[in-house]
């Protein structure tokens, strides 16, 4: 089970590529940037905001 992520933190995070807001996907534990086509993982309650760690949502 992963640690809870602070909702106030999620509201302030932006995509490091586009600088646009992210959408929280609680089921997949990801922060999604539709503009960049990337989903950043949340591991143990910590968002991993590195483009090289992100999943390409256009390949799914």
Q: What pLDDT, on a 0 to 100 scale, did the predictor assign at position 3?
A: 66
Q: What is the CATH number of the domain that holds 53?
A: 2.20.25.10
| Domain range enclosing 11 | 7-59
In a domain, 1, yes or no: no
Which tokens belong to 11? Answer: 């509201």
The 3-class SS string of 5-58 reads CCHHHHHHCECCCCCCECEEECCCCEEEECCCCEEEEEECCEECCCHHHCEEHH
Determine the Cα–Cα distance for residues 11 and 52; give it in Å rounded to an integer. 22
pLDDT tens sequence across 1-57:
556 777 788 889 999 999 999 999 999 999 999 999 999 999 998 999 999 999 999
User: For residue 55, is it within any domain?
Assistant: yes
């Amino acid at each position: 089970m992963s640690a809870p992520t602070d909702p106030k933190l999620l509201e302030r995070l932006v995509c490091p590529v586009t600088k646009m807001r992210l959408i929280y996907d609680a089921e997949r534990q990801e922060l999604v940037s539709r503009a960049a086509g990337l989903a950043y993982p949340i591991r143990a309650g910590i968002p991993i905001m590195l483009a090289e760690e992100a999943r390409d949502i256009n390949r799914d």
